[in-house]
């Protein structure tokens, strides 16, 4: 599986990157919504681990753009966030995300969110 991890904080990309590589995934990283969209055009992936709160283009905006694009409509998009209140969870899933992964993560929650378990 090819996975793009998008988070403006390097530390938040490091753990999932290591865990996914150990699971045999090919991993790409981006530090912003704009960078994620650019990378997706160059390196198609099977799944996107996408932070919600980033400066500039937010994860919600990236998800909305991808869901409007036929080529990306079926992409597995996992919200990668610290936002865990029920109202936030509902809004995130209603925005087009397939799964919600709450920080901090562990191996099992990550692999489960990406349908690798």
| Predicted pLDDT of residue 86 | 80
| Predicted pLDDT of residue 89 | 86
| Predicted pLDDT of residue 88 | 84
| Predicted pLDDT of residue 87 | 80
For the chain, 117 residues long, the average pLDDT of each consecutive 10-residue run is 97 97 98 96 94 93 94 93 82 91 94 95
Q: Which domains does the chain have, with CATH numbers?
A: 2-113 (3.40.50.2300)
Edge-to-edge order in the sheet of strand 2-6: 26-30, 2-6, 47-51, 76-81, 99-102
| Predicted pLDDT of residue 100 | 93
> Does the pTM exceed 0.75?
yes
Q: Residue 89's Cα: distance from chain center in Å?
A: 15
């Amino acid at each position: 599986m090819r996975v793009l991890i998008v988070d403006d904080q390097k530390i938040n990309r490091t753990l999932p990157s290591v865990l996914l590589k150990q699971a045999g995934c090919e991993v790409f990283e981006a530090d912003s919504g704009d960078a994620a969209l650019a990378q997706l055009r160059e390196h198609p992936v099977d799944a996107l681990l996408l932070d919600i709160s980033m400066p500039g283009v937010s994860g919600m905006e990236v998800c909305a753009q991808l869901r409007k694009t036929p080529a990306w409509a079926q992409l597995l998009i996992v919200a990668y966030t610290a936002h865990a209140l029920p109202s936030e969870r509902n809004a995130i899933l209603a925005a087009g995300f397939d799964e919600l992964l709450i920080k901090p993560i562990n191996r099992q929650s990550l692999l489960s969110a990406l349908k690798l378990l």
